[in-house]
Chains A and B, each alone.
Chain A
């Protein structure tokens, strides 16, 4: 019976072979389809996707462009022209003026004072808050103790409470310990209000590390700080970078705490910028204002463009779980 079938199929096979040969011949001639399926370079779908993204990108970039071109124009040119037009005559004078001469109320020594204040606020605040929060995260993830999760839950809910609710108690608290109005007081405020998000970041990271590593270190006789500094810290550089990015941009951009918890001589750059631009006295110098605005935005922008994917990872890690 097996043989019978073979015979029956013989003509079919012959047919198939002819087709194959034909196809081969065609290919050799170059008439038949060869290679990968052809793709239209500019399909309607692609035009729509890239077109939309292009238009949206232009919209998003426009304010940056306006800031840059305005800050490089002289006032006469601004009065005459179009705010989107590139400068006819490039001048850096607004930048110089914004940095060292612009006035806020009493003194006229420009934004430089605010810049250095912001540096003096941001560096210790970021370092201190990250240290505290990373230790918290490590204690929560590895040294689970009774009540730890409860405190952590309160902390996370606290992140959603509007700052306005806790503002005045915090003022009283700082006044009681004698830190109200001082740099140290503001550092403390940033540490306290930055704690939920950064602690969450570190707790999730340390939880994701294999627990056996922690156990092995305990068998090896390392204590709380020994494991933190010698085992955990060297493994956590990426997450420390992410925390740095979150905290430095967040603290640099802060306005509310800067106004509430410091005295005018310690005002951070954002507060000073607002005072310069929105001061009612004198003629408005839009070019100087834009130069000052751009100067204030430069630090977080530099961090953003330098850190790239880590910035995204930072906000996603904080936001999705938060």
Chain B
């Protein structure tokens, strides 16, 4: 099946500054792709290129197999939802929904029917005659989604649509967007800097940095097998613990750093891995403490430095040698700073990265 969106060798430069570098990306039919990254990584820029709101420097963009590289945004068969809603303030909700259809010269009856359908799907029928100023944040965002919906297109582009909402509303609308996607089954590209949004919504996530895609994969792949150190540290909270040391592949694979040396028997190495300086990363949730630590292949005696109770579980920062490590403990264990604590982990759940290129080993 042909991809819904195909981006080939896309390059974007403002003068001498190259913002996107030779980007290639295929998005499947009906796929929910999230572009994730910190601010300035080029994710919104990429979305604007796909929408045709920025003229690209080089490369090609295909939507539904059609080369749309130099088409007007409105001719690309896309709908777009913006962070600031971007509702036309002087038009009613109905006017906002129908503006694009009027510009496309659709017959009145068709416009009315599409607006009614979109309003029904998004449950904004009672708001149709109101102006945007009279709507709450959540209602505005729903209208903004509606504006994309009435266009009856295969591709939806979301540019950080939930960033302006408070935490509670954000969680609610997140669920609604997911439901909408299951209901409409169209292709969606969703830009966000929020990893929770990315993990929960995406079929696949593209993590971007400096105008490049660092890793493209399902949420599980991204979490379980981060392709490089940047992705490993970007996903997960608190950040993955990183130990700086040396990998020895000579007899039996082992890793040594200033606080411990351990064997890496079970670790799934990439083919062709050789000895050398490396990072060993382990997520806090894979670091056990107290009694559970006793069963782990690698154990360390540490001193508690800081305790952050979250209710459902507790984050502990411990000091081992000169190194600070985070561990996540279930429930609400009775821990306090300056107490000794035994921690342990299974090296097979760790992640090794080459010290030179930060690439996964």
Direct contact of A and B (CB under 8 A): yes
- B16-24, B78-86, B319-327 - interface stretch: B78-86
Give Cα A226–Cα B52 distance, bound, in whole angstroms. Answer: 18
- CB-CB under 8 A from B183, the residues of chain A are none
Asked if B90 and A219 make an inter-chain contact with CB atoms under 8 angstroms apart, the answer reads no
Mark B residues whose CB is within 8 Å of A: 48, 51-53, 72-75, 78-80, 82-90, 99-100, 103-104, 147, 159
Give Cα A219–Cα B147 distance, bound, in whole angstroms. Answer: 10
Is A89 interfacial (CB 8 A cutoff)? no
A228-272 toward B: CB 8 Å interface, digit per residue (1/0)? 001100110000000000000000000000000000000000000
Asked if A210 and B103 make an inter-chain contact with CB atoms under 8 angstroms apart, the answer reads no
With contacts A235-B89, A235-B90 known, is A219 near B80, CB below 8 A?
Answer: yes
- CB-CB under 8 A from A210, the residues of chain B are 84, 86
Known contacts A212-B83, A213-B88, A235-B89; 7 additional CB pairs below 8 A are A212-B82, A215-B48, A215-B80, A218-B74, A219-B79, A221-B75, A221-B104
Closest Cβ of chain A: how far from B251's Cβ, in Å?
Answer: 60
Is A216 interfacial (CB 8 A cutoff)? yes
Give Cα A218–Cα B71 distance, bound, in whole angstroms. Answer: 12
Give Cα A235–Cα B78 distance, bound, in whole angstroms. Answer: 26
Asked if A222 and B103 make an inter-chain contact with CB atoms under 8 angstroms apart, the answer reads yes
Give Cα A231–Cα B96 distance, bound, in whole angstroms. Answer: 11
8 A Cβ contacts from A190-227 to B: 210, 212-213, 215-222, 226
Closest Cβ of chain A: how far from B207's Cβ, in Å?
Answer: 24
With contacts A212-B82, A212-B83, A226-B103 known, is A219 near B73, CB below 8 A?
Answer: yes
Top 7 A-B residue pairs of the complex, sorted by shortest distance between their CB atoms: A221-B74, A220-B100, A221-B103, A212-B86, A234-B90, A216-B86, A212-B82
Please name the residue on chain B nearest to A222 by beta carbon: B103
Determine which residue in A219, A221, A230, A234 has the highest number of CB atoms from chain B within 10 A of its CB, and name it: A219
Asked if A215 and B100 make an inter-chain contact with CB atoms under 8 angstroms apart, the answer reads no
Give Cα A217–Cα B342 distance, bound, in whole angstroms. Answer: 60
Determine which residue in A221, A230, A235 has the highest number of CB atoms from chain B within 10 A of its CB, and name it: A221
Give Cα A48–Cα B35 distance, bound, in whole angstroms. Answer: 64
- CB-CB under 8 A from B90, the residues of chain A are 234-235
Closest Cβ of chain B: how far from A61's Cβ, in Å?
Answer: 42
Give Cα A235–Cα B133 distance, bound, in whole angstroms. Answer: 13
A-B CB contact pairs (8 Å), 25 listed: A210-B84, A212-B82, A212-B84, A212-B86, A213-B84, A215-B73, A216-B82, A216-B86, A216-B87, A216-B88, A216-B147, A217-B99, A218-B52, A218-B72, A219-B51, A219-B74, A219-B80, A219-B100, A220-B100, A220-B103, A221-B103, A221-B104, A222-B74, A226-B103, A230-B99
Closest Cβ of chain A: how far from B284's Cβ, in Å?
Answer: 37
Give Cα A215–Cα B78 distance, bound, in whole angstroms. Answer: 13
Give Cα A206–Cα B83 distance, bound, in whole angstroms. Answer: 19
Partner of B88, one of A215, A217, A218: A217
Partner of B86, one of A213, A222, A234: A213
With contacts A221-B72, A221-B74, A235-B90 known, is A216 near B80, CB below 8 A?
Answer: yes
Closest Cβ of chain A: how far from B190's Cβ, in Å?
Answer: 16
Give Cα A213–Cα B80 distance, bound, in whole angstroms. Answer: 11
Q: How many A-B Cβ pairs are below 8 Å?
A: 60
Closest Cβ of chain A: how far from B330's Cβ, in Å?
Answer: 35
- CB-CB under 8 A from B99, the residues of chain A are 217, 220, 222, 230
Give Cα A188–Cα B338 distance, bound, in whole angstroms. Answer: 82
Please name the residue on chain A nearest to B144 by beta carbon: A216
Please name the residue on chain A nearest to B78 by beta carbon: A219
Asked if A215 and B51 make an inter-chain contact with CB atoms under 8 angstroms apart, the answer reads yes
Please name the residue on chain A nearest to B54 by beta carbon: A215
Give Cα A215–Cα B148 distance, bound, in whole angstroms. Answer: 13
Give Cα A192–Cα B83 distance, bound, in whole angstroms. Answer: 39
- CB-CB under 8 A from A217, the residues of chain B are 88, 99
- CB-CB under 8 A from A212, the residues of chain B are 82-86, 159
Give Cα A142–Cα B100 distance, bound, in whole angstroms. Answer: 19
Asked if B82 and A220 make an inter-chain contact with CB atoms under 8 angstroms apart, the answer reads no
- CB-CB under 8 A from A215, the residues of chain B are 48, 51, 53, 73, 80, 82, 86
Closest Cβ of chain A: how far from B144's Cβ, in Å?
Answer: 8
Give Cα A231–Cα B51 distance, bound, in whole angstroms. Answer: 20
Please name the residue on chain B nearest to A237 by beta carbon: B90
Determine which residue in A213, A234, A235 has the highest number of CB atoms from chain B within 10 A of its CB, and name it: A213
- CB-CB under 8 A from A231, the residues of chain B are 88
Closest Cβ of chain B: how far from A150's Cβ, in Å?
Answer: 14
Closest Cβ of chain B: how far from A24's Cβ, in Å?
Answer: 44
- CB-CB under 8 A from B53, the residues of chain A are 215, 218-219
Asked if B147 and A220 make an inter-chain contact with CB atoms under 8 angstroms apart, the answer reads yes
Please name the residue on chain B nearest to A210 by beta carbon: B84
- CB-CB under 8 A from B79, the residues of chain A are 219
Give Cα A278–Cα B41 distance, bound, in whole angstroms. Answer: 69
Give Cα A170–Cα B189 distance, bound, in whole angstroms. Answer: 55
Closest Cβ of chain A: how far from B135's Cβ, in Å?
Answer: 16
Give Cα A65–Cα B147 distance, bound, in whole angstroms. Answer: 60
Closest Cβ of chain B: how far from A146's Cβ, in Å?
Answer: 11
Give Cα A231–Cα B102 distance, bound, in whole angstroms. Answer: 14
Please name the residue on chain A nearest to B99 by beta carbon: A220
Give Cα A106–Cα B339 distance, bound, in whole angstroms. Answer: 106
Asked if A221 and B86 make an inter-chain contact with CB atoms under 8 angstroms apart, the answer reads no
Please name the residue on chain A nearest to B90 by beta carbon: A234
Please name the residue on chain A nearest to B79 by beta carbon: A219
- CB-CB under 8 A from B52, the residues of chain A are 218
- CB-CB under 8 A from A216, the residues of chain B are 80, 82, 86-88, 147
Closest Cβ of chain A: how far from B328's Cβ, in Å?
Answer: 36
Please name the residue on chain A nearest to B98 by beta carbon: A220
Give Cα A120–Cα B116 distance, bound, in whole angstroms. Answer: 51
Give Cα A218–Cα B53 distance, bound, in whole angstroms. Answer: 8
Give Cα A219–Cα B81 distance, bound, in whole angstroms. Answer: 10
Give Cα A217–Cα B104 distance, bound, in whole angstroms. Answer: 12
- CB-CB under 8 A from B78, the residues of chain A are 219
Closest Cβ of chain B: how far from A131's Cβ, in Å?
Answer: 20
Give Cα A299–Cα B72 distance, bound, in whole angstroms. Answer: 48
Give Cα A118–Cα B85 distance, bound, in whole angstroms. Answer: 46
With contacts A234-B90, A235-B89 known, is A221 near B84, CB below 8 A?
Answer: no
Give Cα A81–Cα B147 distance, bound, in whole angstroms. Answer: 75
